[in-house]
């Protein structure tokens, strides 16, 4: 059995519950075959290894059977590769936000250099029959760099974020290198069928690729398979977490505190892709248009701090704070605040309790690769009296979770109407929708995702 090598920007100790479903699922596979996990250490050193940019120290740790190998980055590389190209170019563009992209030749050069450096350090670790699984937008050129160094490994890539339409991708200056580097992989996994369609149009139009049967595409003398592998959660782990003391205490506290209210919840990283201002405007519209919700509906919005070194994230934070202040100022009473906004990360162990206490979850991103909170919310519900999922049609999860109430988050009035419908949904309909959602989430869980991807990678004809 080949050894699995997972490469991602950040690593987590798969043995720790705080790491969440993905880290646990990857860790589980690595553990079974005795694998390697490679990526950035998360450490920034002012001058790495005596000062040469791009030559961070390599650290090796063990987590059970899993070998963790990480590389430090010097400040210049971190700023160009991570803050610059990954989070000021690829993240906004891939979430359809060309207006927020800051293109600069320097950050592109640093992104490419760091990928080359990662490839070189990884190459030292690889054995001939290793299978390599690369994750996400930080590392798109990694396979091309490995191939240039002589790698003949099976290499798969999974994109956790959406792939936008061709015309948006083509706006990235010098995007040709980017298509070419995708063809160094043997398998590319996307979150949704929509992403696969965008990939196909893009490579046919911009790379003169040929579409072959079986989801294969040929260009630059290489064939790659592209398919959707919607990521899932570890259902049993989340249920188990929900039975724990932290979660039950959280649930009991919320039920007592909000006994007279109907609780709506939002749980996100504070990111402009998550549609938080639109969501708050829809909530305000709900209070305006359906006054029965005043003095009754309370929205708890947890927005964990994220990428605070990037300007667009500072702007979204200010916008959100001002909107919350406005709604509470206009509608609040001495004994009722419509919005509880918490700008902190909620401990994972308490998350199921919050989800279970929610009568309605507002998961309304403007664009999202998948959105795992939507799935976690469903799993945390009491099947006999479940809450309702209001889900953006622009989240990858919407392709699977057809029994959620789907909304267009840009349509503030329409979203408010759907939230009202969710709040008034009869028990029978809630139970039926929940059963179907749960069945889908259980079938396509994180283990399904991992097995499907690795089986597909194992079966591609490598040329």
Point out which residues bind ligand ADQ (CB under 6 A).
20, 160-161, 231, 267-269, 302-304, 345-346, 351, 368-373, 376
At its nearest, how many Å lie between ligand ADQ and the CB of residue 239?
14
Catalytic (active site) residue 445: no
Tokens of 355: 């989800």
At its nearest, how many Å lie between ligand ADQ and the CB of residue 92?
13
Please classify residue 54 by burial: count the beta carbons closer than 10 Å to its beta carbon, then call 0-12 exposed, 13-18 middle and 19+ buried: buried
Please classify residue 336 by burial: count the beta carbons closer than 10 Å to its beta carbon, then call 0-12 exposed, 13-18 middle and 19+ buried: middle
Which CB atom, from 181 or from 371, has the smaller least distance to ligand ADQ? 371
At its nearest, how many Å lie between ligand ADQ and the CB of residue 193?
15
Q: Which of 77, 368, 403, 445 is catalytic?
A: 368
Helix (H) or strand (E) run with residue 443 in it: helix 427-443
Which CB atom, from 126 or from 161, has the smaller least distance to ligand ADQ? 161
Catalytic (active site) residue 160: yes
Tokens of 407: 């909304």
Determine the Cα–Cα distance for residues 271 and 251; give it in Å rounded to an integer. Answer: 26
SS3 label, residue 333:
strand
Structural Rg of the chain based on CA atoms: 23
Which CB atom, from 331 or from 394, has the smaller least distance to ligand ADQ? 394
CA 114 distance to own-chain centroid? 22
- Listed in order, strand segments (DSSP E) in 29-121 are 36-45, 58-63, 66-74
At its nearest, how many Å lie between ligand ADQ and the CB of residue 268?
5
Question: CB of 42 within 8 A of CB of 56?
Answer: no
At its nearest, how many Å lie between ligand ADQ and the CB of residue 370?
3
Q: Which of 160, 198, 278, 434 is catalytic?
A: 160
CA 454 distance to own-chain centroid? 20
Which CB atom, from 172 or from 267, has the smaller least distance to ligand ADQ? 267
Which CB atom, from 100 or from 351, has the smaller least distance to ligand ADQ? 351
Which CB atom, from 116 or from 160, has the smaller least distance to ligand ADQ? 160
Q: How many residues does the chain have?
A: 463
At its nearest, how many Å lie between ligand ADQ and the CB of residue 113?
25
DSSP category for residue 368: B
Determine the Cα–Cα distance for residues 7 and 11; give it in Å rounded to an integer. Answer: 9
Instruction: Give catalytic residue positions.
Output: 160, 368
């Amino acid at each position: 059995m080949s050894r699995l090598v997972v490469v991602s920007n950040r690593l987590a100790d798969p043995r720790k519950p705080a790491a969440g479903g993905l880290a646990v699922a990857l860790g589980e596979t690595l553990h079974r075959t005795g694998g390697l996990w490679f990526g950035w250490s998360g450490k920034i050193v002012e001058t790495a290894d005596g000062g040469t940019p791009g030559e961070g120290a390599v650290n090796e740790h063990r987590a059970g059977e899993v070998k963790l190998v990480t590389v430090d980055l010097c400040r210049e590389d971190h700023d160009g590769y991570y803050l610059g190209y990954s989070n000021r170019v690829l993240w906004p563009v891939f979430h359809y936000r060309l207006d927020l992209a800051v293109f600069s030749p320097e950050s592109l050069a640093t992104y490419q250099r760091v990928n080359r450096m990662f490839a070189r350090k990884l190459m030292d670790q690889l054995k001939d029959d290793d299978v390599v699984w690369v994750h996400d937008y930080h590392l798109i050129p990694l396979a091309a760099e490995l191939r240039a160094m002589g790698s003949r490994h099976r290499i798969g890539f999974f994109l956790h974020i959406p792939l936008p339409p061709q015309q948006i991708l083509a706006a990235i200056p010098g995007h040709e290198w980017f298509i070419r580097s995708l063809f160094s992989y043997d398998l590319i996994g996307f979150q949704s069928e929509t992403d696969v369609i965008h990939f196909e149009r893009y490579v046919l139009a911009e790379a003169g690729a040929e579409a072959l049967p079986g989801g294969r595409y040929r260009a630059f003398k290489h064939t790659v398979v592209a398919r959707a592998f919607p990521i899932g959660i570890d259902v049993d782990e989340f249920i188990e977490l929900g039975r724990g003391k932290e979660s039950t205490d959280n649930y009991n506290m919320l039920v007592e505190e909000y006994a007279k209210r109907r609780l709506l919840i939002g749980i996100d990283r504070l990111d402009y892709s998550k549609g938080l201002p639109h969501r708050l405007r829809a909530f305000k519209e709900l209070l305006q248009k359906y006054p029965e919700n005043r003095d009754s509906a309370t929205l708890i919005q947890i927005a964990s701090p994220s990428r605070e070194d990037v300007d667009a994230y500072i702007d979204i934070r200010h916008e959100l704070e001002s909107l919350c202040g406005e709604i509470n100022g206009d509608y609040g009473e001495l004994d009722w605040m419509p919005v509880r906004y918490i700008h902190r990360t909620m401990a994972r162990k308490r998350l199921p309790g919050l989800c279970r206490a929610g009568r309605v979850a507002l998961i309304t991103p403007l664009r999202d690769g998948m959105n795992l909170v939507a799935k976690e919310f469903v799993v945390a519900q009491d099947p006999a009296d479940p809450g309702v999922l209001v889900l953006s049609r622009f989240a990858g999860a919407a392709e699977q979770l057809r029994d959620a109430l789907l909304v267009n988050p840009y349509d503030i009035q329409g979203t408010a109407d759907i939230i009202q419908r969710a709040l008034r949904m009869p028990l029978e309909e809630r139970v039926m929708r929940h059963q179907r959602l749960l069945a889908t989430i259980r079938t396509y869980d994180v283990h399904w995702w991992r097995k499907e991807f690795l089986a597909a990678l194992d079966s591609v004809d490598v040329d």
